[in-house]
């Protein structure tokens, strides 16, 4: 298994382009990761990486070995999944990612219960509102609010979620409540935007009499954490565009108010996205079934006020 472990470390270093990041991902120290790469290079008799003080890039030998090594690891994973399914004892590790708010409310709190049901399955959860490259970062399942843009992935829809524009009463008292999307823009309302490097959306899509339109909104606040935006809205700093289930408790106690209800953003799909190769993996299917039921139940309970 030592040789296979060395291959696994090598593949993660190539994919993450960083020795320390690969070590953290595999829960080993950078020194151990470095030693595994050295052992692999000694065994193969070639240098796998060009090393500088700032970069670690595969050599030609490294690039060729990576393609074969990745297929070997995928084959081993598939074989382990098949044996696990046959034995009736699902086991292994699942790497999961989700947006911060969604992950905190719906996914993270369900993992201990999932582990109680399937104690031989480990779940490693990473929460981020940034776009995550599932293939590059070795993610098995990504829960997301949005559409599938990568044809190399599969998507399982969980439920459609209503979106709303909301603001605190204090903000509306000070700035006035917009009556139309055009007024939202023309009056220069402070719109709280989710932004991070690489994000494509710098506008809000709102419903109009002629269909959905994109509106170029502005504001002095933006963040890469959706919960920060909600906090700013609660403090009266602007208007935020949110899935209703995330802000329903604040609407119920009047800390936030829905604005432009007839011009709401389009609903967003809550879905699980995963690589095609995971489709037959029993532990992945078990997690998807568990989390889909849980998300549907918790969201409905939240919207009903349970």
Query: pTM higher than 0.75 for the full model?
Result: no
User: How far is Cα 279 from Cα 281, in angstroms, rounded to an integer?
Assistant: 6
Alpha helices in 127-180 (DSSP H): 169-175
Q: For residues 189 and 178, is the Cβ–Cβ distance under 8 A?
A: yes
What does the pLDDT read at residue 240?
A: 96
What does the pLDDT read at residue 134?
A: 82
pLDDT band at 53 (very low <50, low <70, confident <90, very high): low
What does the pLDDT read at residue 135?
A: 77
Mean pLDDT over 59-86 rounds to 79
Residue ranges and CATH numbers for the domains of the chain are 1-88 (1.10.10.10), 89-159+268-306 (3.40.190.10), 163-266 (3.40.190.10)
pLDDT tens for residues 87-139? Answer: 667 888 899 999 888 898 899 999 999 999 999 999 999 888 777 778 777 88
Give 92's contacts (C-beta < 8 A, 6+ positions apart): 77, 80, 81, 84, 120, 121, 122, 283
pLDDT tens for residues 249-269? Answer: 999 999 999 999 999 999 999
Q: For residues 89 and 118, is the Cβ–Cβ distance under 8 A?
A: no
Highest mean pLDDT among 14-18, 43-47, 136-140, 291-295: 291-295
Give 35's contacts (C-beta < 8 A, 6+ positions apart): none
């Amino acid at each position: 298994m030592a040789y296979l472990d060395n291959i696994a470390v090598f593949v993660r270093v190539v994919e993450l382009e960083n020795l320390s990041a690969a070590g953290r991902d595999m829960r080993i120290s950078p020194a151990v990761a470095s030693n595994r790469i050295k052992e692999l290079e000694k065994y193969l008799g070639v240098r796998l990486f060009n090393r500088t003080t700032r970069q670690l890039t595969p050599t030609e030998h490294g690039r060729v070995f990576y393609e074969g090594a990745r297929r070997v690891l995928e084959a081993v994973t598939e074989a382990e999944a098949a044996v696990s399914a046959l034995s009736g004892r699902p086991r292994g590790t699942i790497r999961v990612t989700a947006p911060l708010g969604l992950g905190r409310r719906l996914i993270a709190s369900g993992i201990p219960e999932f582990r109680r049901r399937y104690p031989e399955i480990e779940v490693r959860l990473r929460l981020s509102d940034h776009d995550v490259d599932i293939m590059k970062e070795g993610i098995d399942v990504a829960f997301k609010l949005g559409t599938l843009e990568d044809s190399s992935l599969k998507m399982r829809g969980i439920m459609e979620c209503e979106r709303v524009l909301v603001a605190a009463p204090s903000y509306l008292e000070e700035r006035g409540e917009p009556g139309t999307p055009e007024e939202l823009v023309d009056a220069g309302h402070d719109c709280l935007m989710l932004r991070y490097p690489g994000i494509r959306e710098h506008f809000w899509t709102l419903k109009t009499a002629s269909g959905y339109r994109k509106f170029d909104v502005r504001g002095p606040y933006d963040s890469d954490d959706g919960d920060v935006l909600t906090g700013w809205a609660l403090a009266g700093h602007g208007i935020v565009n949110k899935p209703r289930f995330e802000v329903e408790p604040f609407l119920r106690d009047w800390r936030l108010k829905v604005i432009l209800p007839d011009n709401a953003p389009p609903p967003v799909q809550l879905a699980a996205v995963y690589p095609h190769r995971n489709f037959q993996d029993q532990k992945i299917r078990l997690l998807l079934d568990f989390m889909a039921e849980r998300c549907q139940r918790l969201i409905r309970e939240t919207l009903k006020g349970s």
